[in-house]
Amino acid sequence: MPLSGWRRAVADQVSATSKDAQSHGSGSPRTKIRDARVGFPIELHELLIQAAQRRNISIAGYVRRAVLSWVARDLGIDIRTLIAKDRAPARYGEVNAADGKDVEFEVFGSWEI
């Protein structure tokens, strides 16, 4: 089924993001990042913290994975494809990224919707 409208625009952006990858250090890809700020009412933010803690993933990682899950579902893309293009999230309460991106859902659990 061909994509149209905003779905095509998002799919094109995902493709463009991959093309924007730059090489650094040992030659591993580094994707340019655009920040998107999302605010939550305090009560919902507390639930977000609880959910992130349960998966032992940073809040930013949790939000990125949740959004990517819906993008994948809405556009008919395998979530693993999007996770592979995202940066590796940190574990909850840590600054440094976890080992690997967890494309196979072994560390942070499944993100399939």
pLDDT tens per residue across span 94-112? 988 887 899 888 889 898 8
Note whether residue 48 is domain-resident: yes
Total of domains in the chain: 1
Note whether residue 14 is domain-resident: no
38 Cβ neighbours under 8 A, 6+ residues apart: 63
108: buried, middle or exposed (CB in 10 Å: 19+, 13-18, 0-12)?
buried
Note whether residue 30 is domain-resident: no
Separation CA 98–CA 94 (nearest Å)? 9
Domain containing 102 equals 43-113
User: pLDDT tens digits for 34-79?
Assistant: 888 899 999 999 999 999 999 999 999 999 999 999 999 999 999 9
Separation CA 55–CA 64 (nearest Å)? 13
Separation CA 71–CA 10 (nearest Å)? 8
